[in-house]
């Protein structure tokens, strides 16, 4: 996003960006999106396409976002999205282990819960799948109050055999 202005107030750095009307979470919560309505299906496809294009660009540059979630996807009145909040983003370095404390827990893949530090771009792809599910069901797919509850939700939805297979491949 283009930086409009940058300044400091009482030691806090402030960055002003171009205004975007919504974030994806507010659209999920406030608008009754229906995949069966043609205009809503078109909107959902357009949003998902832009997210995938943005993430493909990042991955092509060797960057993992590591905190994709509806709050980090801004949308203007014309339906154009911007991916924001790159605080946890990292350039892939296959020689160095990655940190485990990334991704908001609703969008965190099982391998990170199991302590894998050699993860890669799949972390962002998992999050995109979780975001799509949230658009469709209007609530996080793997909603829990803590890591253990979220992990149990993943087992519940995907089945323990699949999650164990993921764990064994670490």
Tokens 């107030």 belong to residue: 9
Determine, yes or no, domain membership for 15. no
Per-residue pLDDT tens digits for 73-95? 999 888 889 999 888 888 988 77
Residue 169 — pLDDT band, cuts 50, 70, 90? low
pLDDT at 166: 60
Determine, yes or no, domain membership for 11. no
pLDDT at 28: 86
Determine, yes or no, domain membership for 103. yes
Q: Which domain holds residue 103?
A: 20-168
Please choose, from the candidates 131, 47, 139, 54, the residue with its C-alpha nearest in 3D space to the C-alpha of residue 89.
54
pLDDT at 15: 80
pLDDT at 50: 96
Catalytic sites, residue numbers: 67
CATH number at residue 109: 1.10.510.10
Per-residue pLDDT tens digits for 96-133? 777 766 778 999 988 888 888 888 899 999 999 999 99
The pTM assigned to this predicted structure is 0.83
Determine, yes or no, domain membership for 2. no
- Looking at mean pLDDT, say which of 12-21, 55-64, 78-87 comes out highest: 55-64
Please choose, from the candidates 94, 127, 91, the residue with its C-alpha nearest in 3D space to the C-alpha of residue 109.
127
23 pLDDT above the threshold of 80: yes
Determine, yes or no, domain membership for 64. yes
Determine, yes or no, domain membership for 114. yes
Determine, yes or no, domain membership for 53. yes
Determine, yes or no, domain membership for 124. yes
How many domains does the structure of the chain reveal?
1
């Amino acid at each position: 996003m283009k930086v409009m202005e940058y300044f400091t107030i009482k030691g806090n750095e402030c960055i002003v960006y171009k205004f975007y009307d919504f974030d994806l979470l507010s659209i999920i919560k406030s608008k009754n999106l229906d995949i069966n309505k043609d205009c809503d299906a078109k909107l959902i496809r357009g949003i998902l396409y832009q997210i995938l294009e943005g993430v493909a660009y990042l991955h092509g540059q060797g960057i993992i976002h590591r905190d994709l979630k509806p709050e980090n996807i801004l949308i203007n009145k014309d339906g154009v999205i911007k991916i924001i909040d790159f605080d946890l983003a990292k350039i892939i370095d296959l020689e160095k282990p990655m940190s485990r404390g990334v991704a908001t827990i609703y969008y965190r893949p099982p391998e990170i819960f199991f302590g894998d530090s050699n993860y890669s771009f799949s972390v962002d792809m998992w999050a995109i799948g979780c975001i799509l599910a949230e658009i469709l069901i209007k609530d996080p797919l793997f909603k829990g109050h803590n890591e253990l509850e979220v992990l149990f939700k993943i087992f519940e939805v995907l089945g323990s055999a699949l999650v164990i297979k993921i764990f064994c491949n670490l």
